[in-house]
Structure 1
Amino acid sequence: MILTVDVGNTRIKASVFEGNTALENFIFEKNELEEKIQKILKKFPNCSDLVVASVGSIEKQSFLTFENQLKVHFFSHEDVFPFHNKYATPKTLGIDRMILAAGAALQFPKQNRLVIDAGTCITYDFIDENDNYLGGAISPGLRLRYESLHNFTARLPLLTLEAPETYIGNSTQQAIHSGVVNGFVYEIDGFIDEYRKEFLNFIIILTGGDADFLAKRLKNTIFANSNFLLESLNQTYQYKIDND
């Protein structure tokens, strides 16, 4: 069994895999890390590997405390990946984006793939049908958009995510919801439309914490999977073992 851990900017997600089957998923706060992992290992004592992808601020030592129980691996740019990295600055490409690209390459071979990860930030990552990683885009996620309207203006309130009642907001709160959510959806659909102009045989993978919220609002046909990063982490680790 493999325990995969995704350390994001806001929360930690984890999943226990047996082969390619996810047995159970977990979400917890960063300050709960050691306690939660200990509980997971107690529930799944046959876990032999702990695999970590981190863009957050958790120190490696927090994971290394479990080295006496199982093998710990941190993914880095030095690992082997199932794509050719054509990014102009490959060492600056986030490990989370590399794992998503690897998962797309492994799960959807011989296709053009666009992976959209809607979390704290929204990232777009494109891997062509020849397994070349070409790059993508980064922009603020839904929560950051709400926060920026509040933090950089004098009077706009801080709101939490809510589906707008109409495109025409008839109050300040409804105008914010309309602007943030509809603007976000238009952005994603706009990017997808541009990719479609250039690439055929095309699949779109939507993941991240806001994936389920967004999936039914996009006009384009997508494959939505909020746990795609954890699945990709498991598959990329198995690929590494087979190809080292």
Structure 2
Amino acid sequence: MHLAVDIGNSRVKYAVFDRGILLSKGCVDTMDEMVLSDILSEYPTVSRSIVASTRGRADETTELLRRRVGHCLRLSAHPPVPLGIAYATPETLGEDRLAAAVGAASLHPGRNLLIVDFGTAITIDLVTAEGVFLGGNISPGMAMRFKALADHTAALPLCSAVEDYVLVGRSTREAIEQGVLNGIAFEIEGYIARIEKEMNSLSIIFTGGDAKFFAKRIKNTIFAHCDLVFLGLNRILEYNASEESRR
């Protein structure tokens, strides 16, 4: 069994896999001794683990997992991955972006992929049908956009996402809500339209905590998968434990 740990900007997420099947997942403030003990008491046969972090170093978590689980693969150490990397600065490539790309490619092999992760930041990445990560773009996430309007103006209130779709806001609050949501939707639709002209048979995959707000707003055939990063982390762990990475 495998344990995948994703240390995000605000919280730590984890998932337990058995032979490629996601059994359970959770979200905590810190992956400490008590949390890990609870996980291992429920899944005592976990024998391998992997850690990704958007906060940089994760030495304490990595050492804890190595001590308690016996094996921990740290993604920042640049282990082999089942993708070609055409990114000019692979050492700066976000670990969550790489994991999501690997997860998407494992779900949809042999297809051109546009992966949109709606998290603290919105990342838009491309993987070719030949299994090469080309790169992508990063822009502010939804909560960041709402907060920027409230923090950098004197009179605008702090707003949040709504389910309703309105093209033109009829109040200041509605104008902010729809301005942020529609702005993101139009941004993603613009990328899709441009990239589809250059890449045939493009498959579009949404992931991340805020993806639910955009799956219906964006008028394209998409795949939504909230566990894409976990799937990618588990696939990388499997890849490094097998003979594939040594071919």
Using structure 1 for the length normalisation, give the TM-score: 0.93
Q: Report how far residue 73 of structure 1 moved.
A: 1.7
| Matching residue of 2:29 | 29
Alignment of 1:1-244 (within 5 A): 1-30=1-30, 33-56=32-55, 59-70=58-69, 71-76=71-76, 78-164=78-164, 166-242=166-242, 243-244=245-246
- Contact 2:62-2:74 within 8 A present in 1 as well: no
The AA in structure 2 aligned to 1:54 is S
CA distance in 1 between counterparts of 2:91 and 2:56 reads 18
Q: Report how far residue 12 of structure 1 moved.
A: 1.7
Q: 1:25 to 1:192 in 2, by over 3 A?
A: same
Q: Report how far residue 33 of structure 1 moved.
A: 4.3
CA distance in 1 between counterparts of 2:160 and 2:34 reads 29
After TM superposition, the structure 1 stretch with the greater mean CA deviation from structure 2, 16-25 or 155-164, is 155-164
Q: Report how far residue 53 of structure 1 moved.
A: 0.8
- Contact 1:123-1:138 within 8 A present in 2 as well: yes
Identity %: 38
| C-alpha RMSD of matched pairs (Å) | 1.7
CA distance in 1 between counterparts of 2:84 and 2:65 reads 33
Using structure 2 for the length normalisation, give the TM-score: 0.92
- CA deviation string 1:187-214 (max 9, x = no partner): 1111111111111122111101112222
Q: 1:212 to 1:128 in 2, by over 3 A?
A: same
- Contact 1:7-1:58 within 8 A present in 2 as well: no
The AA in structure 2 aligned to 1:82 is P
The AA in structure 2 aligned to 1:230 is F
The AA in structure 1 aligned to 2:170 is N
CA distance in 2 between counterparts of 1:228 and 1:198 reads 25
Structure 2: unaligned runs, 5 residues or longer? none
Which runs of 4 or more aligned residues in structure 1 lie more than 4 Å from their structure 2 counterparts after TM superposition?
none
Q: 1:149 to 1:34 in 2, by over 3 A?
A: farther
The AA in structure 1 aligned to 2:8 is G
